[in-house]
Structure 1
Amino acid sequence: MTLAHVRAVVLDVGETLVDETRAWTRAAGEVGVTPFALMGVLGVLAERGEPVARVWDVLGVEPPASRPTIGPDDLYPDALPTLTSLRSAGFVVAIAGNQPAGAEDQLRAAGVDLDLVASSARWGVAKPAPAFFARILSELRLAPEHVLYVGDRLDNDVLPARAAGMRTAFLRRGPWGYLHASRAQVALADLRVASLTELTDVLLAARR
């Protein structure tokens, strides 16, 4: 199977469609540390492959009481044009990521209207668990080789989606994207891109 056989494109949320800078900056202010300190610790955890939730322990603060939110201005500039272009080209387009309750409604309010918008909070299972990717396939009712999963991380996106039999696209964007781009396992992705615009161009060219 090649990319020409892809019928559905499923995208991660954080740092794939959504720029999380505002959310992390707000969280830093809420817990009383500088954004620089928070981002620096997140970078170290990303390099070590440790859970993001450890950031609060390392900083010695309680986690923020408020949940992060997603607004229209948080979407990367290429997000909505990519979703629109892919749907216009006949792809089934979906979003499925590790997101808290409320994220699905926030994404729809931000202009995301797709065949499937799903979150780990609603499904009760999170990446990289195999059950998360099995749920994607169940919802789409497609064989895994016809589904392309797009994300910025190897551990949470590319490797578990590949293990589920899906095609994968690695997006070099955000902290994990830049770090993981230098790792040997990035070669396991079927496609490696620096933007969603590039992703669209490749997928459309594969259909010609």
Structure 2
Amino acid sequence: MRAVVFDVGETLVDETRIWTRWADRLGVTRLTMLGLIGACAALDRPVTDAFAMVRPGLNLETEEAAWAVDDPDGLRSGFDADDLYPDVIPALTALRAAGLRLVVAGNQPPRALAALRAMDLPVDEIRNSAELGVEKPAPAFFAAAADLAGAPVREIAYVGDRTDNDVLPAADAGMLAVLVRRGPWGYLHATRPEAARAHVVDSLLELPGLLTAGS
């Protein structure tokens, strides 16, 4: 392998605080919100369905705008360095020391891109779907990720927590697919037959050994 591309949510970023803040905002218990997120994962429904179940007819953009007025200096639906999983920095540092090019590329809004860049992560590129103009699982997203990685697809690993958005389309693109078993989708999707198309890991700290073996 010459390069590794990382998803963001539940791969690098623990989204627990995001969903609990949404629960508080929408006036439901945190267990309810987290349970509905898990239900969406289990039923292969988009996460926006959880919001619709909590508050039918909710317009997310309108609610986000109102939230920004109410709490202009808060994280609201965003994240910061405190939300990184503990293995992220050590794993990225080890992979970079091994000579791999590192790219962060996931389905994220513009605000998330600024948050990621503010973390000063030891990576070479940070982009997102908003900047690239295409979202996973579209093949064009993985083609753009390969361009950022600057290596042939067979020499690129894509690391994510979902089979539908990450593992399967990355494998279809010719990349080495790695599924990290954490977060609602990661634990669930690791049990599915299609996960056999990926290397399943429980920590990003497994990546240096996996991707540099025999180098």
- Assess same fold via TM > 0.5: yes
CA distance in 2, matches of 1:203, 1:137: 17
Write the deviation string for residues 93-122 of structure 1: whole angstroms up to 9, x where unpaired. 110001111222211222314211011111
Write the deviation string for residues 44-69 of structure 1: whole angstroms up to 9, x where unpaired. 11011111111111112523415622
Q: Give the counterpart letter for 1:22 in structure 2.
A: R
2:8 matched residue in structure 1? 13
Secondary structure in structure 2 of the residue aligned to 1:99: coil
**Contact kept? 1:153, 1:180, Cα under 8 Å:** yes
User: Where does structure 1 lack aligned partners over 5 or more consecutive residues?
Assistant: 1-5
1:91 matched residue in structure 2? 100
User: Aligned match of 2:181 in 172, 183, 198?
Assistant: 172
Secondary structure in structure 2 of the residue aligned to 1:131: helix
CA separation of 1:206 and 1:39: change in aligned 2, threshold 3 A: farther
Q: CA RMSD in A?
A: 1.4
CA distance in 2, matches of 1:96, 1:19: 16
2:72 matched residue in structure 1? none
**Contact kept? 2:4, 2:149, Cα under 8 Å:** no
User: Aligned match of 1:47 in 39, 42, 64?
Assistant: 42
User: Pairwise mapping of residues 53-92 of structure 1 onto structure 2 (< 5 A)?
Assistant: 53-61=48-56, 62=58, 63=60, 64-65=63-64, 66=67, 68-92=77-101
CA separation of 1:18 and 1:206: change in aligned 2, threshold 3 A: farther
1:196 matched residue in structure 2? 204
Q: Give the counterpart letter for 2:83 in structure 1.
A: D
Please report how far the alpha carbon of residue 180 of structure 1 lies from its aligned counterpart in structure 2 after TM superposition. Answer: 0.6
Q: Give the counterpart letter for 1:94 in structure 2.
A: V
User: Pairwise mapping of residues 1-40 of structure 1 onto structure 2 (< 5 A)?
Assistant: 6-40=1-35
CA separation of 1:206 and 1:15: change in aligned 2, threshold 3 A: farther
CA separation of 1:173 and 1:206: change in aligned 2, threshold 3 A: farther
1:151 aligns with 2:160: yes
CA separation of 1:206 and 1:68: change in aligned 2, threshold 3 A: farther
Secondary structure in structure 2 of the residue aligned to 1:170: strand
Q: Percent identity?
A: 49
Write the deviation string for residues 13-54 of structure 1: whole angstroms up to 9, x where unpaired. 011110000111111111111111111111111011111111
Aligned residues: 201
**Contact kept? 2:103, 2:148, Cα under 8 Å:** no
Which stretch shifts more, 104-113 or 120-129?
Answer: 104-113
CA distance in 1, matches of 2:210, 2:147: 26
TM-score (norm 2): 0.89
